Amino acid sequence: MTSLKNSVQLIGRLGNDPETATYENGKTRTRFSLATSEIYRNNKGEKVEETQWHNIVAWGKTAKIAENYLKKGKEVALEGKLTSRMWEDDKGKHYITEIVANQILILDKKPQ
């Protein structure tokens, strides 16, 4: 069960086109945002839709797949792990939580 210690599975839609960067060491990184929505009824019986935005990062072959096949609005399922990092620049300290995707599955049907 050690693989369950830090495992994230999401189904959602891309909020932007993926952005890819290739570094001097040859590593490729692709980033995009993913929206997940939940619909429920509140205590008044009103329908409520709640959307969460997730920062997604993919490396290597997974990054190339995201770069070549994903576009804004596409529905995908992904599996990965949760990471947090901090960096400092002239504006101060910055914190971000991201999901590093290991697998991406495109759920949209192919156009006919």
What domain count does the chain have? 1
SS3 4: helix
| HSE toward the beta carbon, residue 82, CA cutoff 13 A | 9
* pLDDT class of 92 with cuts at 50, 70, 90: very high
pLDDT at residue 112 is higher than 60: no
Other CB atoms within a 10 A radius of the CB of residue 77 amount to: 13
Q: What's the whole-model pTM score? A: 0.85
Q: Could you tell me the residue range of the domain that residue 44 belongs to? A: 2-106
Q: Is residue 6 part of a domain?
A: yes
| Contact of 94 with 86, CB cutoff 8 Å | yes
Q: Is residue 111 part of a domain?
A: no
Percent of residues, the chain, with pLDDT higher than 70 = 95
50-87 residue pLDDT tens: 999 999 999 999 999 999 999 999 999 999 999 999 99
Q: Is residue 87 part of a domain?
A: yes
| Contact of 79 with 103, CB cutoff 8 Å | yes
- When mean pLDDT is compared across 4-8, 98-102, 103-107, the lowest value belongs to 4-8
CATH number for the domain harbouring residue 78: 2.40.50.140
